[in-house]
Amino acid sequence: MEQSVSDDQYKPHPCERLARIAGQTNFWRLLAGIEESADTTEDMAALSFARRNGVAPPELLEAYWGGLQSCRRELCQYVFDAIEAAGSGVRPKDRVWTKAAILDAFALFTGQGYELPRHRAAQFKVRLEDYIAARKLAEGFMYHLTGDIQPRWIRARFRE
């Protein structure tokens, strides 16, 4: 007996549209008189609607699905501020290596290359366990915030 596979299993996730948007602009093409380009109007409009009344910046979706690096520092600072607000704060002597751990977590989150935690911990003279814990916490925050914004983008994009 051969099992049939439904087409639903092969449908891409709706947010994969954001991966194709990264770096696209229709402005220069339209200025040159080329009208054959991907229409990204509704996808970008949905990002702006998802921003309204939300906790997380929608650029996290672009970073996760499309590997967007242009907002890396701002998004990492947003995560740092969220971590600092969630706990009792980050001690001043731990701020630099914590931000490095957040940058590494962002690289993992977007599928980019990152430096090994052992090297980073040695570089900042911090315990390996502390560095890995900070990186995992930051990555968890990024996934949590993405989980908050993703349903709002899908609702805004595909609502009739």
Q: pLDDT tens string for the chain (160 positions)?
A: 455 555 566 776 766 766 666 655 566 666 677 666 666 667 777 777 777 766 778 888 888 888 888 889 999 999 999 988 887 788 989 999 999 999 999 999 998 888 899 999 999 999 999 999 999 999 999 999 988 888 888 888 887 5
Q: What is the pLDDT of residue 6?
A: 55
The two three-digit tokens of residue 63, written as one number = 């970073």
Residue 120 is given by DSSP the state H
Query: How far is Cα 29 from Cα 9, in angstroms, rounded to an integer?
Result: 35
Q: Do the domain assignments include residue 7?
A: no
The answer to whether residue 4 sits within a structural domain is no
In a domain, 1, yes or no: no
The reply to whether 151 falls in a domain is yes
Q: Residue 86 and residue 80: Cα distance in Å, rounded? A: 10
Residue 72: domain span: 13-158
Residues in the chain: 160
List all residues 6 or more positions away from 132 whose beta carbon is below 8 Å from its beta carbon.
Answer: 117, 121
Q: How many domains does the chain have?
A: 1
**Whole-number pLDDT of residue 54:** 66
Task: Give dist(CA 129, CA 42) in Å, integer.
Answer: 44
Task: Note the pTM of the prediction, 2 decimals.
Answer: 0.77
